[in-house]
Amino acid sequence: MHFDNSYARLPDRMFTRQDPVPVAAPGLIAVNPRLAAEMGLDAARLATPEWLAVLAGNRVPPGAEPLAQAYAGHQFGNWVPQLGDGRAILLGEHIGPDGRRWDVQLKGAGRTAWSRGGDGRAWVGPVIREYLVSEAMHALGVPTTRALAAVTTGEIVYREARLPGAVLTRVAASHLRVGTFQYFAARGDTEALRLLADMALARHYPGATGPLGLLAEAVAAQARLVAQWMALGFIHGVMNTDNAHVGGLTIDYGPCAFLDAYHPDRVFSSIDRGGRYAYANQPQIAVWNMAQLASCLLPLIDADPDRAIEPATEVLHRFADLWQAEWLARFRAKLGLATAHEGDRALIEALLDRMARSGADFTRTFRGLAEGTAAAEFRDPAAFTTWEPTWHARLAAEGRSLEAARAAMARVNPAVIPRNHRIEDAIDAAVQGDFAPFHALDAALAQPFDAAPDHPLRAAPTPQETVHQTFCGT
């Protein structure tokens, strides 16, 4: 790795220096050859004992300057003035052969100054979940943090049970969260805010300038991101401001889940009792998070906060239109529509409404539109077959053949997604030391649009297999 550690050069109140805490017996779960290649790294070398020791936190590689970042956040709407990297350590920033900058972070690397009562560790379940889902999201075209590697530690982690420990190597263009800005805004630290804003612009939005430019880009990126989540039936599950990425990446895969049967009010997270982060609430939460970012940026926009509010509010108000446009574009494409007509929203909403009432599987229904098998997903097939003619009429108005529309749909409606029950199966096996289901799932998820119609991972869960609740695993 070729390190250039810009975060470590920031004022030292913005992080704490912390080496990873060594583990007993590193064991390889996976190195990601696709990502390694993008980063200009040799996947085979990453799997050697020398680099396994780095990925487990037992050896600090030359040029790394490990640190834990300071951040704060609103958790379920409640202000928490201090969070920070309690179980993640940034080794440094690797510069790839194309000049791209990659934060290389070890998640589960031991206690830091921000750990509070936590052990700083991760068990194999959340590590496997984040590896599989973040890489699946990437293959689905969704901006996300990535997974370069996963290793076991040979140590036990104590949660509800004694569980095998693991470390994830998470990689991203930055780990700048809304909560990072909030930490310094709450302390009146305008200098730190300016440094963070400059870093966020340089890393994510090199074409934009100034705090309002940053806010406008972050708002647009969130609108795009959440529209993509919704078009895939993805529920993040913990959209706290510390898990809201300023660069518009999906970050922190905790109790995330994919819809099986579609319902807009669906919640999976065991800790989300009020349904704050339900599927259909995600755009509202995203704009709420952006409002928190806006309020952090006010002192950078104008020395007189009263004069800063108006332009910041104007930028925030763009979210609604951007979101509507992104959502419509995504769902039009899911229906094979290449042009925009009035009435498209009503057509899409009518389908979703029928899906909700008929317990239709989200992924299989949309893929079924491309394959002519959607009706079978409805408890009451008439709910589909009475909608279908309006869709066909709308398609006819496009002037393109049903075949052409179906081919286009198969490129945006995935055949395989990281189904909740498949992830659980992979985790259960991994706890027993069997990583074969993990590798099989990882391989299939790398080509989500290509699986054959009879591919076993396309199946919806049986009632016995259905996952009703997910856990953050901290």
Interaction site with Mg ion (CB under 5 A): 243, 252
Contact residue for ligand AMP among 36, 43, 85, 221 (CB under 6 A)? 85
Stretch that binds ligand AMP, among 238-246, 314-322, 369-377, 445-453 (CB under 6 A): 238-246
| Binding residues for ligand AMP, total number by CB under 6 A | 18
CA 170 to chain centre: 12
Total Cβ atoms within 10 A of residue 455:
12
Residue selected from 66, 92, 120, 255 as contacting ligand AMP according to rule CB under 6 A: 120
Q: Is 359 exposed, middle or buried (0-12, 13-18, 19+ CB in 10 A)?
A: middle
Query: What is the nearest approach in angstroms of Mg ion to the Cβ of residue 474?
Result: 9
Q: Which residues inside 88-117 make contact with ligand AMP, applying CB under 6 A? A: 114-115
Nearer to ligand AMP among residue 116 and residue 455 (C-beta): 116
Catalytic residue among 103, 242, 361, 442: 242
> Quick one: 130 or 252, whose CB is closer to Mg ion?
252
| 179: contact with ligand AMP by CB under 6 A | no
Exposure class string for 58-79: b at 16+ Cβ within 10 A, else e: bbbbeebbbbbbbbbbbbeeee
What's the closest the beta carbon of residue 110 comes to ligand AMP, in angstroms?
Answer: 9
Is position 118 an interface residue for ligand AMP (rule: CB under 6 A)?
yes
Residue 383 engages ligand AMP in binding (rule: CB under 6 A): no
Note whether 83 binds ligand AMP by CB under 6 A: yes
**Minimum gap (Å) between residue 75 Cβ and Mg ion:** 9
DSSP class per residue in 18-37: -PPPP-S--EEEEE-HHHHH
119 is an active site residue? no
Binding to ligand AMP by residue 252, rule CB under 6 A? yes
- For residue 137, the minimal CB distance to ligand AMP (Å) is 17
Closest distance between ligand AMP and the C-beta of residue 102, in Å?
21
Strands 67-69 and 15-17: antiparallel
CB 390 within 8 A of CB 383: no
For the chain, how far is it from start to end, CA to CA, in angstroms?
29
Phi-psi map region of 451: left, alpha, beta (phi>0 left; psi -120 to 50 alpha): beta
Q: Contacting ligand AMP (CB under 6 A), which of 86, 141, 210, 213?
A: 86
Q: Residue 143 interacts with ligand AMP (CB under 6 A)?
A: no
Handedness of CA 408, 411, 413, 416 (dihedral sign): positive
Residue nearest to ligand AMP (CB): 118
CB closer to ligand AMP out of 114 and 277: 114
Burial of 186-219, coded b for 16+ CB within 10 Å and e otherwise, reads eeebeebbebbbebbbebbbeebeebbebbbbbb
Distance between CA 445 and CA 426 in Å, rounded? 13
By a kind-dependent CB cut-off of 5 to 8 A, residue 121 interacts, out of Mg ion, ligand AMP, none, with ligand AMP
Min CB(251)–ligand AMP separation in Å: 9
Structure token pair of residue 72: 């704060």
Chain residues that interact with ligand AMP, rule: CB under 6 A:
83-87, 114-115, 118-121, 238, 242-243, 252, 254, 472, 474
Which residues are tagged catalytic? 242
